[in-house]
């Protein structure tokens, strides 16, 4: 009864291309993540050869890894937001409010003649650190929650919604600390100490966050729905995914990561810093885009984001070590960013996607 | 082939006197419709006749202002599309059906993932079941289940969407102009797929403007005009001219509701 198709097969769906090892390898090698990863390795080899004994040392890499740890944490969160096709410009606000909330909480705990803010690192304890952590996370989560509700339910474009919470959040932070940054050494142990094989805690934390991010994005139902919404929110809605609720969760996750970044930053720099994070959002977005995550949503890679965090850091570090004006790093990162996104576009249009 | 005397078996899905108004526009004025298991029922009508509105109501996307929906003779109401899905009714739309950046298995199981430890999805198992289901349906294997469906042709994508619906539908599968954007060969493949779904005993509802195509695939044809049903035909007992007469209002074999 069933009619034969003109080409004599019953196949309604012919394979787009055979799933051979060759095609899979081609896909990997032409992926933007692989290209930027190769670029990162190439740059690292170049610097190691050109600055022997200086660049390619464990000490240097430990330092680098510590320097990028906070950006890693917030960029992993941003990867999820961008995976939905959204954007989060409010990262500095989440970080700074995270710092300020923590400091304010500590300043309300009387210790001796003063408050917990005045404690030195060696006088502090796990209790104070946990309180600071809780308030940092609460601050970031609140910013993210507002972003999510405004974007998902009030349907304000993400760029403007998070631009609003960026300015608003920084304003609140300045109000809370009367415009003056507050120093504290109470949570220094978070960054200065090492709980594992002499590896600084910041590095361990960044690695854990990266692994959790990779697992969540690729292996969890949450990650799958995040990508589906970014790919086609209408398709996601039709299969019963609660798109608005999921978007709120994703933006809240992004804010949570920013708040955590604020906590780590307070531990690392020993002070709140309203002005010190003003380009963290652009750095995070750069890292995410460099890594191969599509700004249109639907395609995302946390591993790529890690690569994207490291490229600017390595370039800057290498240029400084080699005595090149470090400002060249900004030029190089800008060029690499445009190149990476352009290559991605070519690849997508050639495969019929967006 | 699945000759059936109307009335001996309850329709898999039935709409009775459905009314739907959009402000002052009366989209459906007491529209009725029936689709039986193991049959392809075509729903035809001119633009604005209310076909899509009716399908959206049967899919739970729109709520009717009046009338009754029955599944296997039992009265039901759908608060949302998920409620219709839960009763084994699947709908395939002409566009926006799939997430283009996800692969076929991810799309097939989207929103209904096989989970491990609640939090994780079981991609290997979902791929395995997708491959098996595609093979069973005669949807020639998408051998490369790992590539995003964006790299498929329009016909291949539509086949994935229909196969997904067929996998989950237990009662009824509704196809809203599934071939409108397809070429000749792709259309033939999709029609084959529709027949193979019908042969599994599901009720297939098929909306199309393409009357020769309707006559080719439909076991029964119902005609909507200005928001209500004006004619019903058996597949072999009607030609294009008669269908056009019914669609345009020159012919009716329906007692006014």
pLDDT digits (tens, 9 = 90+) for B196-226: 889 989 999 999 888 999 999 999 999 999 9
Q: Which of A5, A220, A230 has its CB closest to that of B120?
A: A220
Residue B118 per-residue DSSP state: T
Q: How far apart are CA A250 and CA A233, in angstroms?
A: 14
Contacts with A348 from chain B: Cβ below 8 Å: 150
Report yes or no: B117 at the A interface, CB cutoff 8 Å.
no
CATH architecture of B13-248: 3-Layer(aba) Sandwich (3.40)
- Bridge partners of B71, per DSSP, are B13, B74
Q: Exposed, middle or buried, A112 (CB in 10 Å: 0-12/13-18/19+)?
A: exposed
Q: Is residue A31 part of a domain?
A: no
Closest to A128 in 3D by CA, of A110, A153, A144, A145: A110
Query: What's the pLDDT band for B143 if we cut at 50, 70, 90?
Result: low
Asked if residues B217 and B191 have their Cβ atoms less than 8 Å apart, the reply is yes
Q: Inter-chain contact A241–B160, Cβ cutoff 8 Å?
A: no
Q: In B, which residues are within 8 Å of A27 by CB distance?
A: 147
Q: What is the CA radius of gyration of chain B?
A: 18
B142 CB within 8 Å of a chain A CB = yes
| Residue B156 sits at the chain A interface (C-beta within 8 Å) | yes
**In this complex, which of B113, B123, B148 lies closest to A353 when CB atoms are compared?**
B148
- Say whether pLDDT at A82 is over 60: yes
Q: What is the DSSP string of A203-232?
A: HHHHHHHHHHHHHHHHHBHHHHHHHHHHH-
Between chain A and chain B, the number of residue pairs with CB atoms below 8 A apart is 158
What is the percentage of chain A residues whose pLDDT exceeds 90? 60
Q: How far apart are CA A59 and CA A39, in angstroms?
A: 22
Contact criterion met (CB < 8 Å) for B185 and A7: yes
The answer to whether residue A188 sits within a structural domain is yes
- For chain A, give the mean pLDDT: 88
Question: Does the distance separating the beta carbons of B191 and A17 come in below 8 Å?
Answer: no
| Closest in B81, B145, B185 to A5, CB measured | B185
Indicate whether B101 pLDDT > 50.
Answer: yes
Please give the residue of chain A at the shortest CA–CA distance from B145. A19
Q: Is the pLDDT of residue A2 over 50?
A: no
- Compare all CA atoms of chain B with the CA of A23 and give the residue at the minimum distance: B144
The partner residues of B90 in beta bridges, in order of sequence, read B173
Q: Check if B102 contacts A (Cβ < 8 Å).
A: yes
CA distance A281 to chain B (A): 26
> For chain B, which residues make up each domain, given as ranges?
13-248
pLDDT reported for residue A194? 73
Q: Does a structural domain hold residue A352? A: no
Domain that residue A173 falls in: 55-343
Choose the closest CB to A221 out of B97, B121, B151. B121
Is the CB of residue B155 less than 8 Å away from at least one CB of chain A? yes
With beta carbons under 8 A apart, name residues in chain B contacting A299.
101, 148
pLDDT of residue A171 exceeding 80, the answer is yes
Using a CB-CB cut-off of 8 Å, the residues of chain B touching A249 are none
Q: How far separated are the first and last CA of chain B, in Å rounded? A: 30
For residue A21, what is the nearest residue in chain B, using CA coordinates? B144
pLDDT in tens, A315-341: 999 988 888 888 888 898 888 888 888
A339: closest CA of chain B, how far (Å)? 22
Half-sphere exposure of B167 (CA within 13 A, CB side): 24
Report the residue of chain B nearest A18, measured CA to CA: B144
pLDDT for the residue A346: 79
Question: Among residues A324, A212, A192, A155, which one has the least CA distance to residue A268?
Answer: A192
Q: Does B5 touch chain A (CB under 8 A)?
A: no
Q: Which residues contact A114 (CB under 8 A, 6 or more apart)?
A: none
Of A236, A299, A352, Cβ closest to residue B110 = A236
pLDDT, greater one: B120 or A31: B120
**Number of separate domains in chain A:** 1
Measured between CB atoms, does B126 come within 8 Å of chain A? no
Q: How many angstroms separate the CA of residue A10 from the nearest CA in chain B?
A: 6
Is residue A351 situated within a structural domain? no
Contact B110 A239 (CB under 8 A): yes
Work out the minimum CA distance from A64 to partner chain B, whole angstroms: 33
pLDDT for A124 equals 80
Contact with chain A for residue B115, Cβ under 8 A: yes
Band of pLDDT at residue B47, cut at 50, 70 and 90: confident
Question: Does residue A7 belong to any structural domain of this protein?
Answer: no
ipTM, two decimals, is 0.83
**Domain assignment present for A279:** yes
Question: Cβ neighbours of residue B124 under 8 Å, at least 6 residues apart?
Answer: none
């Amino acid at each position: 009864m069933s009619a034969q198709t003109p080409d004599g097969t019953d196949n309604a769906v012919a394979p787009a291309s055979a799933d051979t090892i060759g095609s899979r390898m081609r896909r990997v090698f032409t992926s933007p993540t692989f290209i930027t990863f190769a670029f990162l390795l190439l740059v690292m080899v170049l610097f190691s050869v050109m600055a022997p004994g200086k660049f390619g040392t464990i000490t240097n890499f430990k330092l680098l890894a510590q320097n990028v740890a906070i950006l890693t944490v917030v960029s992993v969160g941003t990867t999820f937001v961008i995976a939905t096709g959204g954007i989060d410009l409010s990262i500095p606000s989440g970080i700074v409010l995270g710092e300020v909330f923590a400091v304010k909480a500590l300043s309300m705990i009387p210790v001796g003649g003063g408050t917990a803010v005045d404690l030195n690192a060696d006088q502090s304890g796990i209790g104070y650190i946990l309180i600071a952590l809780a308030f940092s996370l609460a601050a970031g989560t609140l910013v993210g929650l507002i972003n999510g509700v405004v974007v998902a339910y009030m349907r304000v474009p993400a760029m403007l919604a998070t631009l609003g919470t960026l300015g608003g959040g920084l304003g609140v932070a300045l109000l809370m600390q009367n415009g003056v940054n507050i120093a504290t050494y109470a949570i220094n142990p978070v960054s200065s100490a090492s709980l594992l094989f002499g590896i600084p805690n910041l590095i361990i934390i960044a690695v854990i966050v990266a692994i959790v991010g990779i697992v969540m994005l690729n292996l969890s139902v949450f990650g799958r729905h995040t990508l589906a919404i970014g790919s086609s929110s209408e398709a996601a809605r039709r299969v019963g995914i609660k798109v608005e609720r999921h978007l709120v969760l994703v933006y809240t996750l992004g804010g949570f990561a920013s708040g955590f970044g604020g906590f780590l930053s307070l531990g690392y720099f020993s002070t709140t810093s309203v002005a010190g994070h003003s380009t963290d959002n652009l750095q995070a977005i750069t890292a995410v885009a460099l890594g191969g995550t599509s700004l249109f949503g639907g395609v995302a890679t946390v591993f790529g984001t890690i690569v994207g965090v490291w490229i600017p850091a390595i370039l800057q570090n290498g240029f400084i070590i080699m005595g090149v004006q470090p400002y060249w790093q900004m030029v190089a990162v800008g060029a690499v960013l445009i190149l990476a996104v352009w290559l991605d576009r070519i690849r997508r249009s050639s495969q019929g996607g967006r | 082939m699945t000759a059936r005397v109307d009335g001996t078996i309850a329709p898999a899905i039935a709409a009775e006197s459905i009314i739907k108004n959009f402000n002052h526009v009366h989209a459906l004025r007491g529209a009725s419709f029936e689709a039986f298991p193991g049959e392809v029922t075509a729903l035809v009508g001119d633009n604005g006749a209310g076909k899509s509105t009716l399908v959206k109501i049967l899919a739970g996307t729109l709520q009717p202002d009046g009338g009754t929906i029955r599944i296997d003779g039992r009265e039901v109401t759908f608060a949302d599309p998920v409620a219709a899905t839960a009763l084994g009714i699947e709908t395939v739309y002409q566009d926006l059906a799939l997430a283009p950046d996800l692969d076929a298995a991810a799309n097939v199981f989207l929103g209904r993932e096989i989970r491990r430890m609640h939090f994780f999805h079981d991609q290997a198992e979902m791929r395995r079941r997708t491959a098996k289901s595609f093979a069973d349906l005669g949807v020639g294997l998408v051998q490369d289940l790992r590539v995003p469906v964006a790299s498929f042709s329009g016909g291949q994508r539509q086949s994935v969407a229909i196969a997904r619906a067929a996998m989950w539908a237990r009662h009824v599968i509704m196809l809203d102009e599934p071939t409108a954007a397809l070429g000749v060969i792709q259309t033939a493949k999709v029609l084959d797929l529709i027949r193979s779904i019908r042969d599994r005993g599901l009720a297939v509802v098929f909306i199309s403007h393409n009357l020769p195509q309707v006559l080719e695939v439909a076991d029964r044809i119902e005609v909507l005009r200005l928001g209500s049903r004006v004619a019903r035909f058996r597949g072999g007992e009607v030609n294009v001219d008669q269908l056009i007469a019914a669609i345009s209002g020159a012919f009716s074999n329906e007692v006014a509701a």
